[in-house]
Amino acid sequence: MTLKVELVSPTQRVWSGEATSVSARTVEGDIGVLTDHSPLFGVLVDGQVVIHGTNGDATEFKVSGGFLSVANNRVSILTESVN
C-alpha cells in the first residue's frame, strides 16, 4: 500500500507520484503521514515538506504556507510557492 502524493502550486504540478510517507509542518506542529491515515485537512506554515518516495529516496521542498489534505491514501499539498 502506498500513498498517492501530489504537490501542486498555482502555476504547475510540482511533484506527483507514489510515496511511503510525507512529512510537513502545520500550524500545530510537525506531522507525518503514513498509509491509511485518517482524513485530515491542515494548514501549513512556511517550512519543509519531505516526501519519501517508494523507491527509497526523499525529496525535500521548501514551501511558503499552504494546505495539506489527506484522504483515502491520497495526499495533496497545495502551496502558493515552492523552491
Partner 1 sequence: MGAQLRIYRRRMRSVKATKKITKAMELISASRIVKAQQRVAASTPYANELTRAVSAVATYSSTNHPLTTASERPIRAAILIISADRGMAGAYSNNAIKEGEQLAALLRERGLEVKPYLVGRKAVGYYKFRDRQIAGQWTGFSDNPTYENAKEVADALIKAFIADAQTDAAGVDEIHIVFTEFKSMLIQNAMAKRMLPLEVVESDAPAPAGLLPMYEFEPNAGVVLDALLPRYIEARVFNAMLQSAASEHAARRRAMKSATDNADDLIKSLTRLANAARQAEITQEISEIVGGADALASASAGSE
Cell 494548514 found at: 43
Out of 2, 4, 40, 46, point to the residue binding partner 1 (CB under 8 A). Answer: 40
| Rounded Cα gap, residues 81 and 71, in angstroms | 23
Out of 20, 23, 26, 59, point to the residue binding partner 1 (CB under 8 A). Answer: 26
Cell 498517492 found at: 4
Which of helix, strand or coil describes residue 11?
coil
Out of 1, 11, 36, 56, point to the residue binding partner 1 (CB under 8 A). Answer: 11
Cell 500500500 found at: 1
Residues lying near partner 1 in the complex (CB under 8 A) are found at 6, 8-13, 26-28, 31, 38-43, 65, 67, 69, 71-72, 76, 78, 80
